[in-house]
Amino acid sequence: MSECRKDNLAHFAVTIISKDRPGIVADTTEVLYRLGCNIEDSSCTMLGGDFAMILIVSHEKPFPKARLTDEFKELHERTGLVTYVRTLAEDEICPVKEEGELCLVSVYGSDRPGIVYRVTRALADRHINITDLNTRLIGTREEPVYVLMLEAILPAGMTVDDAERLLENLKKELNVEIGVRAITPVSL
């Protein structure tokens, strides 16, 4: 296990959900900026007509969770934006070093219940860690196509070809196309 950094920072996970509209990110980050919080990690996406975002933020200690929740309560009253704030324990902010290969799994097929479950269960049962997942319904109303894209870290010793082979039976059972390819990590 990697060592956690030792610093004097309080860390929080902030989850935001709202009907989509321009300005959600600006409204959220304005609150964080005014409070002196630093955004360490974030992910945002559109889900249907809603916008969802999760941020990992830090602030020099002491900094109570209540300050964040109070500021976001005011924003909710003004805009309807829904926020959930969770204090992170020290072991939750430790970077996790994964040893295996990073890959992209893509699934395309007729829309039906169970695609996400069956694919993710097959990966989890083989200790493949999913790091990102997106789904979309594309095509037409008459011919909808379900698309699942996920990034995953393969366990040490497993190759992309191994991962693709383990999904072969599932591909036939679900009548979908499944592809697995390596992703080269980008260092900033």
All domains of the chain in start order, with CATH: 9-92 (3.30.70.260), 102-182 (3.30.70.260)
Average pLDDT value for residue range 117-135: 95
- Sign, CA dihedral 57-29-18-61, equals positive
Of the pLDDT bands very low, low, confident and very high (cuts 50, 70, 90), residue 1 is very low
* Cβ-based neighbours of 138, under 8 Å, separated by 6 or more: 144, 145, 147
Of the pLDDT bands very low, low, confident and very high (cuts 50, 70, 90), residue 85 is very high
Kindly report the average pLDDT of the chain as a whole number: 91
pLDDT of amino acid 99: 74
Distance CA 75, CA 42 (A): 19
